[in-house]
């Protein structure tokens, strides 16, 4: 009889980890759904990002839907056949109702408070995949649920994410942009740079050209690095522009003198709906964010160090 794993890791398809890679590293993924006209597709299974981009180009705006509680129950039950405990790390609750579905599923299973731990990542895509990979690596090194949860929450507080697009229209169609962005989008032909603040999309700035918006994101990391506050990995997310993402990756490796791992993630169909083919973004960790709580002036994280573990990215074309 095969011994059970101690901890199973569950996430959702907005992590942009493919199902192929999930099988390779032993995690479980709850897929979102992409709705085009009257038909529903399963994110990452029966629709591709290129097909989504084709619909966007034609003027047809697909919609997305979260996994159902029933789907999460199915995944949790399957995971518990292989492991004693579950840690589920999901997309920010401000961007999707996915985590609510996960919580409902856990409550319905009535397994007690310790069997399933659900973590709000307050992020998406590369940020979410980095958290998942950290949890996977730690679980394989036999860290406890409490140790993994504490580490993930530490990284969440350090996270900074930025993204740019060639047009506002896709993100506006998804209703996830604030009022200032909506007003500017209707008046000035600019490239937006957005960020996540407490898991919500807010405007970080506007640039006249694509080149300027990419430089702006690069400079966020450059400033953090020069202050000595850059830690952990750097993630790059992209839509169709692989060469552009690769150039940014090379620039960041040169900047940090290869002291920081830089990985690239191609966004999946569900995120492609809201960002479009010209999406380009970054994720990184800034230790300055953990030092002082802006409201109390107290140290927030107690100086917890992140275990230095090789992450199981594997041979996956979506994460390189």
Tell me the per-residue pLDDT of 90-110, one tens digit each, with 9 for 90 and over. Answer: 999 999 999 999 999 999 999
> Buried b vs exposed e over 12-28: b needs ≥16 C-beta within 10 Å?
bbbbbbbbebbeebebb
Q: Is residue 274 part of a domain?
A: yes
314 within domain boundaries = no
| pTM given for the model | 0.87
What is the CATH classification number for the domain harbouring 142? 3.40.50.10170
Residue 41 lies in a domain: yes
Show the low-confidence residues of the chain (pLDDT under 50). 1, 180, 183, 185, 292-307, 309, 313-317
* Tally of structural domains, the chain: 2
E-strand stretches of the chain: 5-12, 28-30, 33-36, 39-42, 63-65, 83-90, 116-120, 159-164, 191-197, 200-207, 230-238, 262-266, 280-286
Q: Please check whether residues 100 and 136 belong to one and the same domain.
A: yes
Q: pLDDT tens-digit profile of 211-255?
A: 999 999 999 999 999 999 999 999 999 999 999 999 999 999 999
54 and 179 both lie in a single domain:
no
Residue 25 domain-assigned? yes
């Amino acid at each position: 009889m095969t011994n059970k794993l101690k901890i199973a890791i569950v996430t959702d398809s907005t992590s942009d980890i493919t199902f192929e890679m999930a099988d390779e590293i032993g995690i479980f993924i709850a897929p979102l759904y992409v709705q085009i006209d009257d038909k529903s597709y399963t994110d990452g299974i029966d629709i591709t990002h290129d097909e989504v981009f084709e619909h966007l180009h034609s003027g047809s705006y697909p919609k997305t839907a979260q996994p159902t509680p029933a789907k999460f129950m199915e995944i949790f039950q399957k995971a518990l056949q292989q492991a004693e405990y579950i840690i589920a790390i999901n997309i920010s609750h401000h961007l999707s109702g996915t985590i609510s579905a996960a919580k409902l599923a856990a409550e319905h299973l009535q397994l007690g408070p310790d069997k399933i731990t659900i973590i709000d990542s307050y992020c998406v895509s590369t940020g979410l995949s980095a958290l998942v990979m950290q949890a996977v690596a730690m679980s394989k090194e036999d860290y406890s649920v409490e140790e993994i949860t504490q580490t993930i929450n530490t990284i969440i507080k350090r996270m900074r994410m930025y993204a740019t697009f060639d047009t506002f229209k896709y993100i506006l169609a998804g209703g996830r942009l604030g009022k200032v962005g909506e007003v500017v989008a209707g008046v000035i032909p600019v490239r937006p740079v957005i960020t996540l603040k407490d898991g919500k999309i807010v405007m970080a700035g506007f640039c006249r050209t694509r080149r300027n918006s990419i430089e702006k994101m690069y400079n966020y990391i450059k400033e953090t690095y020069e202050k000595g506050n850059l830690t952990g990995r750097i993630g790059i997310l992209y839509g169709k522009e692989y060469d552009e993402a690769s150039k940014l990756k090379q620039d960041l490796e040169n900047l940090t003198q290869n002291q920081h791992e830089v990985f690239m993630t191609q966004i999946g169909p569900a995120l492609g709906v809201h960002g479009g083919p010209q999406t380009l973004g970054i994720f990184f960790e800034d230790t300055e964010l953990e030092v002082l709580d802006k409201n109390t002036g107290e140290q927030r994280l107690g100086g917890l160090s992140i275990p230095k573990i090789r992450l199981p990215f594997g041979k996956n074309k979506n994460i390189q």
